[in-house]
Every structure is written in C-alpha cells, then in structure tokens.
Amino acid sequence: MALQYKYLDRPKDVDDCITLLDSAILPLLKEHWDKFGKAEYGRDFNLNTEAFVALWLNTSFTIVLAYDDNNPVGIFIGIRVLPMEFQARVLQVETCYGKTTEVEEGLYNYIKSIAPIVGYDEMWLNTDTNKNVGAVKGFKQVGATSVVRFTRE
C-alpha cells in the first residue's frame, strides 16, 4: 500500500472539479454516510450541493483526499470557523473517513502537518459520525462536544 495525501485547492476549472467530485469525493462521502451517517440521522445520502460548492469556492473548506496507488481511499473535509467569543482559528471536522484506520490516522497526521498552511489553532470534531477520535494523535483533548439534533414533530 502506497498511501499519498493531497490537499485540494479551490477549484479553478469547472470540468476538472466535476470530474473530481464524480470520481473521488462523492463516492467516498456516500460510503462514509452509508456506514455511519444514515444510522445516526435516519436519512439517505443527499449532498447539499449548493452549500458544498459555496464553501469550496469561498475557500471555507479544507479538503484532503487519500490515495492508494491513485485510487481514492479516504477523505477529510474541514470547515474553517472563527469563534465569536474568543480568539482562535478553528478547523471543524465535517468528515474524516478512510477505508481503513491507517488511512484515517494518515489523514489526521497530514492535516496536522499542514496546520501552518491551512491556518488553524484548534480542531473540533462532531461526535456524531466521526467515531474514530482516537486517530487524532498529537493533540490534547480538553473537553468533549456533541451535536444535539432537533427536528420538527
């Protein structure tokens, strides 16, 4: 296994972006959702395309793909957040999924290694579909958060 990690810049060419979405990003997101998200939320995968494109074009996303011999095997999507009540640059993990634990650990290690480039001080994980919090090595856990869902009855 020859794992490689690639940070995806903001898309410049629409056709290349669509190809990347179709060939790598969407299949990995769907696989992640089918394994974790569907049971948690009771809903089928249905990418909010408008939000995805807006965040990516506005450079609010940090997207990393993991490849094994040019085959996509993992994805990390973080959203840059600036808290209002204290000074910090946060990378909130939206999705971290790898086909193996080794891939997930590699994604977190890669994100940690590019922290000065991405520009974040803290990383926040939602505990709903990111179950592998043990993969975040090199960070000290200072508390726990979770997502509380409210739906209309």
Burial of 44 from C-beta contacts in 10 A (0-12 / 13-18 / 19+): exposed
Can you list the domains of the chain with their CATH numbers? 3-135 (3.40.630.30)
In tens digits, the chain (153 residues) has pLDDT values of: 689 999 998 778 878 888 888 999 999 999 999 998 898 888 999 999 888 888 888 878 899 999 999 999 999 999 998 889 988 888 888 899 999 999 999 999 999 899 888 888 888 887 665 666 666 777 777 766 675 555 445
Q: Which pLDDT score is estimated for 41?
A: 84
Q: Which pLDDT score is estimated for 133?
A: 62
111-128 burial code (b ≥16 CB/10 A, e <16): beeeeeebebeebebeee
Q: Which pLDDT score is estimated for 44?
A: 95
